[in-house]
Amino acid sequence: MRSDTGSDAQTRLLLLERNPEGCQTAVRDLKECLGANTEIVSADSGRAACALLRAGSFDILVVDLDSLADISPQPEVAMNRLCRLAEGGLIIALSDGRSVSSAVAAMRAGAHDYIPKPICGPAFAARVEELAQRHGKAGAMQIDTSAMGADADFESFVGLSNQMRVVYEQISRIAPSTAPVFITGESGTGKEVCAEALHRRGPRADKPLIAVNCGAIPRDLMETELFGAVRGAYTGAVRDRQGAAELADGGTLFLDEIGEMDLSLQTKLLRFLQTGTITRVGEGVARPVDVRVICATNRNPMQLIAERRFREDLFYRLHVLPIHLPPLRQRPADILPLARHFLAQFAREEHKHFACISAQAADMLVAREWPGNVRQVQNMIRRIVVMFDGREITPEMIAAADIEGHAAARPALTDANATPKILPMWQQEQRIIEDTVAHFSGNIAQAAAALEISPSTIYRKRQAWEQMEHRLAGAA
């Protein structure tokens, strides 16, 4: 990590832990996960911590709730006093898992998060960076991912956010199976990378992985591409041809953008999944094929079914082991690690000297929505490396290379009198919360955890929105 006071400055962390053995263990784990450029100062009592905060500033406070008792027996009162002295530092409460009410009280008093003991190094480091970005401190605190060890990357993925850790766990758990996998996610989130990871971690890793993009192949050629054809089956078929299913025999067949497949071919794909045999175009002989099928789409499959563009029986045949890849806007902790990864890669390929991203440029990257997800970050960084020379990416470089941003702003410049439609705050808040609830399939608790609010807040706001909508309907 680094501070924004200079490239050599340290991030300062204050650890409050009254148990000497626990303090020693926590210091060791924190140094290991946050890197050598983090200065760790410890205190064994709440009053000692307050004295240290009065004497100097700290970027992060890691506070054992039981160690605050000498300030006040009420955790909320004690934490509130500590927060006033912290002057904007990130505050993370440590809980032994039994005192959930104390942890909630600490967050009401101003703590940014709480985690159970003991500290898990890489997960803690990723959480700190995510909180830093969420609370506008990305430039001041940046995790050195090289200090996280081999777990910083998973297969070809880059990122240690909580959302991606769930994906990694899913991949590890279902890779050994032979059941079909259905991957969903927006364009650019890494669906093909996910399919490759499943293949490499499964028992078919030494067999071929054959990918077919169902949206890029003309409809009249798709059956041949998938199942093959015999000589003379159509004009130009001068020899027998194996399809992707046969080429993947014993291995994995990846059907990307499965939602774009023609309905007539969906029927034949369903028959293949049911029987385990394929029939080449122009041939009447069924050939047995043993493949694991992985498919992916950036569309909502239920909407495609409702529009009668995707067979419901095929969907349930494929939708055995689902994996959803979250968009980049829902995992901001991964933006800077991705940018640094691509910077190192493209600087090496282009023989440039880029090595880091300035604090201001880091804030600009984190603040973006990235509708194109990982692919858009990749394109942006490559554009910068090709267009500019230097050692550090600056805000000026980002502004010059932001082609997508320029294109989005251009229509607004053509009409000086145009006024953008701005929704009221409650409607914007409603959209954010309801989108998150939908992402977690209606699970209020998971959505509340992701948004860092309590589940009761969501229920309360829903009631308020309903009353507001009734009033607006009555006024209309």
Q: Which of 27-31, 69-73, 187-191, 299-303 has the lowest mean pLDDT?
A: 27-31
For residue 420, what pLDDT band results from cuts at 50, 70 and 90? low
Q: CATH top-level class for 162-324?
A: alpha beta
Displacement of CA 317 from its chain's centroid (Å): 27
pLDDT per residue as tens digits for the range 300-320? 888 899 889 999 999 999 999
Distance in angstroms (rounded) separating the CA atoms of residues 301 and 56: 55
Displacement of CA 398 from its chain's centroid (Å): 22
Mean pLDDT over residues 219-230, rounded? 87
Residue 281: predicted pLDDT: 83
Domain positions in the chain are 11-154, 162-324, 331-414, 425-475
Please list, in sequence order, all residues whose beta carbon lies within 8 angstroms of the beta carbon of residue 206, skipping any fewer than 6 positions away: none
Question: Does the pTM exceed 0.75?
Answer: no
Do 120 and 90 form a contact (C-beta atoms < 8 A)?
A: no
Q: Does 110 score more than 90 pLDDT? A: no
CATH number of 331-414: 1.10.8.60
Distance in angstroms (rounded) separating the CA atoms of residues 319 and 322: 6
Query: Which residue's entry shows tokens 């499964």?
Result: 202
Topology match between the domains 11-154 and 331-414: no
The superfamily in CATH containing domain 11-154 is Response regulator (3.40.50.2300)
Q: Does 340 score more than 90 pLDDT? A: yes
Give per-residue burial for 188-220: e unless 16+ CB within 10 Å, then b.
bbbbbbbbbbbbebbebeebebbbbebeebeee
Q: What angle do CA 161, 401, 144 make, to 5 degrees?
A: 30
Tell me what percent of the residues of the chain surpass a pLDDT of 90.
37
pLDDT per residue as tens digits for the range 43-59? 999 999 999 999 988 88
Mean pLDDT over residues 115-130, rounded? 70
Distance in angstroms (rounded) separating the CA atoms of residues 416 and 454: 43
Instruction: Select the highest-mean-pLDDT range: 56-65, 304-313, 434-443, 467-476.
Output: 304-313
Q: Are strands 209-213 and 241-242 parallel, antiparallel or unpaired?
A: unpaired
